[in-house]
Structure 1
Amino acid sequence: MSLDPPTYLASLQNNIRQRPIPWDGVVRAGTLTEDQLARIRAVDRVKKEARQQTVESNLDAYRLLFIGEPGSQSVLESAAKRQDVVQYLLVLLSDLLNAVPALCKAIVATSDPYRQFLPLLAQSPSPDAAIPLLTSTVLVGLLAGSRDESPHAIDRALPVLLTYLSSLIKSSDAGLQDIGVQACSSLLYSRAARTRFWRQRSETVTPLVEILRAAAGVGNKDASASLWSGTTGPSSSSSRSGFEGSLGGGVGLQLLYRVLLVMWQLSFEAADMGDDLNDEYDIVLLYTQLLRLSPKEKTTRLLVSTLLNLLTANQNTLLPTAVLARLPALLQNLQTRQFTDPDLREDLDKLRELVDEYTKTKTTFDEYVGELNSGHLRWSPPHRSEVFWAENARKILDHENGELVRRLADIMKKPWDNDKAVLAIACNDVGCLVREVPEKRGQLEKLGLKTRIMELMGEADENVRWESLRALGGWLQYSFEGAK
């Protein structure tokens, strides 16, 4: 999937190419040697074919020109005090790497190919400073062009480069975001690179998810609560486009597509990181919401393909969440749309088959277990069903030596400042367990549930107070009856 270069970067590079450099004066000042200048002029402002032939016939000379060797400085080192010259040389090198893949391989084959460039990334604290920006382009060209998986690349250069690119993605400037996201996409060329990207997820994945949350119309502070509450609304299973040219939060379609592309590439490691991706970012729920809003086939295709990768690799853990997020109904709705992309239609069929196969074999009890495992409760049908509790209360208490009740207790320990409904639902569930299996009250008390219920009677939220009062009433009823 080749993408056009970011407009901001292309404009900057074109401006630098057109700047006149007084090369003879640079040589007279001792900044560059005559030999270095001759190498530069041989490939500067010439046709692509001539440039390629010149470099390929002198690979070693051009490798030395840009990265030097012991006892011989590179042009970047020699010209370090001339910012205009350094900028020009970085643009020229980036052009040469694109035009002559053999140069990329020749540079990477050296003992320490990134030594010249990494310090330049930290030259300015400003993310839009020209030299760090142009240096990042060179580094992306070297790493991606060679698909380098050496320790120099994965353990040394890539972490520093990803930190810099993340500063671009976090910028409020859409042009810089575009550069950072597209560069990250170029760098996810191998499992080792994707693993490194994931290890730095607080820097790399988090800002991407923040962009996706903005596109979904939810803030980062209460993203989970907003998304879960959206699954219960009257239009939760409908497919709404709602946006033309721009999505929620001012996220443009092109930026959205590029962020989705990076996440799709990352999803090829779903077996290793899919569960954590969902635990930390509610990714299945977020993607289901984005799929409802997706206005273009190209974004829909990436959303569907990423969900397919995640759910296929983590069926036991993520399919229950997909059902809670109302993905089955949404997929049914999408089947009625006439998509022209054959890959999208194929992935959509596979995803629907996967989800349908799961839902055919699962009971209401499985749905409740999936909800507890998701760590977020919502007013789904089991909670208010007397039949459900009559049939499953004891099973819930005994399941895996009380694991489900422990999960319920863990959920109740949190304050849920942005979604008090979770606490109200949890109180409802505890009350139902006490009502149906009163002899197991001791098991619940040992987990601190009675104490927590009493604490919640003082909550400001009216629904939490009501549900906690109802739960405690059942507790007291059986306590009095036992005392008679």
Structure 2
Amino acid sequence: MSLDPPAYLANLQGNIRQRPIPWDGAVRAGTLTEEQLSRIRAVDKVKKDVRKQTIESDLDGYRTLFVGADGKTSVLELAAKRQDVVQYILVLLKDLLDTVPALSKALLKNGDPYRHFLPLLGKSTQLDDPIPLLTSTVLVSLMAGSRDESTATVDKALPLIFSYLSSLTKNADAGLQDIGVQEYSSLLYGTATRQQFWTQRDETVGPLIDILRAAAGITKDNSAASLLSGSTNVARSGFEGSLGGGVGLQLLYHVLLVMWQLSFEAAEVGTALNKEHDIVFLYTQLLRLSPKEKTSRLLLSTLYNLLSANQEKLLGIAVSVRLPSLLQNLQSRQFNDPDLREDLDRLRELLEEYTKTKTTFDEYVAEVNDGHLRWTPPHRNTVFWAENARKILDYENGALIRKLAEIIKEPWEKDKYVLAVACNDIGFLVREVPEKRGQLERLGLKTRVMELMGDSDENVRWESLKALGGWLQYSFDTK
């Protein structure tokens, strides 16, 4: 998948290509050999077809030039003390890898093809040092061009590259963020690389979710739970060029593209992605605000991949965050993109089939099993609790209430609303089925509710107080 290089990177590479390098003097100084210089000159500043023919006729020679061989030192190793030469070689190599696909596979035939590149990633922590950035572009082109999934690539080099790219995506500079995100996209070409990306998800996925949350206008004080409860509104303006949180449309598209590529591993990552980042709600919110067809298409396709691969766990969540009604509204719009229309139809049909056979109780079960409680309609509905409280307590020999106990015992530092919702539910259960309070107490729920009365969050304190009131009311009524 080819993307236009970000302007910052293109300008940097262009400036380096134009720099005059005193090659003959570099040879005299031992920065490189005559043989190396001859090969560089044969492909530097020549037409692409000449460059391609020259390299393909001497793949072993160019492999030795860049990664060395037995008894021969690579040009990067020889030129290590000349930063101008190293920068030039890195830009040239990136151009060659893009022009001559066969070169990528040739370089990987070396016993340790990454030996001279990986140290350059950590060469400097200064943002204005171009060498780590240029090195990352070379490594990404090398891996993507060969689509390599060897141990040397996936287990040794890829984790270091992902860590470096993560530092770009966490940078405040949108240009550097976009470089990191685009290079991620180039690397997610196969299952092995996507799995490694997911393994490092605190570094890789986490910052991307932060960008998406900023675009959707969701902050710590403006969480999914509060939005679903109707207590907070998301701004709906400023979509041309920049979304909420200053996220540009191009950066948003590239982040969505990476997440779409990750969604091809939906069976493995889908439920954890939702538990850790409330992804179904986040994507529903982004879809509601999406300003362009190209972003809507990625949102719909990713949602379909996640939901279709995790129907038991995620379809109920999709219903609870009101995705079906949003899709119904989108159905009336005239989209030009046939792929978008197809994804919209597939997703709508998937949810329609689910809702035909599922009830509000099923949605509640799905939400509790997901673990990330929200202020969805059932929680405040007294009729729902009157009809279903006993059913919830008896469900699968108490499995549902045990899951609720697990949820409320977690700290939920990043989303206190989960604790507030759990206290609300426990309060309803005590009031509706008071004779079962012993079952709740044995699970530690009364003790936990009392602990939460001292929580730092006002909503949690209020809901825990109300929940405890159920126990107190029952105690007084029975005296």
Q: TM-score, normalised by structure 1?
A: 0.93
Shift of 1:240: 5.5
Aligned to 1:233: 230
Task: Answer whether contact 1:241 1:295 (CA < 8 A) is retained.
Answer: no
Are 2:16 and 1:20 equivalent residues in the alignment?
no
SS of the equivalent of 2:113 reads coil
1:256 pairs with 247, 252, 256, which one? 252
Q: 1:298-339 deviations in whole A, cap 9, x for unaligned?
A: 000000000000000000101111111111111111111111
Q: 1:404-427 deviations in whole A, cap 9, x for unaligned?
A: 222333333355667665545434
Unaligned runs of 5+ in 2: none
Are 2:89 and 1:89 equivalent residues in the alignment?
yes
Are 2:2 and 1:5 equivalent residues in the alignment?
no
Of 468-477 and 43-52, the range deviating more from structure 2: 468-477
Change (3 A) 1:451 1:20: same
Change (3 A) 1:273 1:137: same
1:385 pairs with 366, 373, 381, which one? 381
Shift of 1:234: 8.8
SS of the equivalent of 1:403 reads helix
Task: Answer whether contact 1:182 1:258 (CA < 8 A) is retained.
Answer: yes
Shift of 1:366: 1.1
SS of the equivalent of 1:231 reads helix
Aligned to 1:47: 47
Shift of 1:42: 1.2
Which amino acid in the other structure matches residue 288 of structure 2? R
Alpha-carbon distance between aligned partners in 2 of 1:382 and 1:448, rounded to the nearest angstrom: 24
Q: TM-score, normalised by structure 2?
A: 0.94
Aligned to 2:294: 298
Aligned to 2:151: 151
Aligned to 2:121: 121
Aligned to 2:110: 110
Of 253-262 and 440-449, the range deviating more from structure 2: 440-449
Change (3 A) 1:385 1:66: closer
Shift of 1:85: 0.7
Which amino acid in the other structure matches residue 68 of structure 1? G
Shift of 1:434: 2.4
SS of the equivalent of 1:292 reads helix
Task: Answer whether contact 2:121 2:132 (CA < 8 A) is retained.
Answer: yes
Which amino acid in the other structure matches residue 232 of structure 1? S
Shift of 1:61: 1.3
Alpha-carbon distance between aligned partners in 2 of 1:92 and 1:22, rounded to the nearest angstrom: 16
1:364 pairs with 351, 360, 365, which one? 360
Are 2:335 and 1:339 equivalent residues in the alignment?
yes
Task: Answer whether contact 1:118 1:160 (CA < 8 A) is retained.
Answer: yes
Change (3 A) 1:307 1:452: same
Shift of 1:159: 1.1
SS of the equivalent of 2:242 reads coil
Change (3 A) 1:335 1:115: same
SS of the equivalent of 1:97 reads helix
Change (3 A) 1:42 1:314: same
RMSD value over aligned CA atoms?
A: 2.3
Q: How does 1:267-346 map to 2 (within 5 A)?
A: 267-346=263-342
SS of the equivalent of 2:223 reads helix
Task: Answer whether contact 1:128 1:176 (CA < 8 A) is retained.
Answer: no
Which amino acid in the other structure matches residue 407 of structure 2? I
Shift of 1:451: 2.8
Which amino acid in the other structure matches residue 248 of structure 2? G
Change (3 A) 1:61 1:360: same
Identical-residue share of aligned pairs (%): 73
1:349 pairs with 345, 350, 373, which one? 345
Shift of 1:66: 1.1
Aligned to 1:265: 261
Unaligned runs of 5+ in 1: none
Are 2:31 and 1:31 equivalent residues in the alignment?
yes
Tell me the matched-pair count. 479
Shift of 1:462: 6.8
Aligned to 1:59: 59
SS of the equivalent of 2:42 reads helix
Alpha-carbon distance between aligned partners in 1 of 2:138 and 2:345, rounded to the nearest angstrom: 41
Change (3 A) 1:108 1:212: same
Of 391-400 and 338-347, the range deviating more from structure 2: 391-400
Task: Answer whether contact 1:169 1:176 (CA < 8 A) is retained.
Answer: yes
SS of the equivalent of 2:31 reads coil
Aligned to 1:78: 78
1:243 pairs with 239, 242, 251, which one? 239
Alpha-carbon distance between aligned partners in 2 of 1:211 and 1:27, rounded to the nearest angstrom: 47
Which amino acid in the other structure matches residue 345 of structure 1? R
Which amino acid in the other structure matches residue 353 of structure 1? E
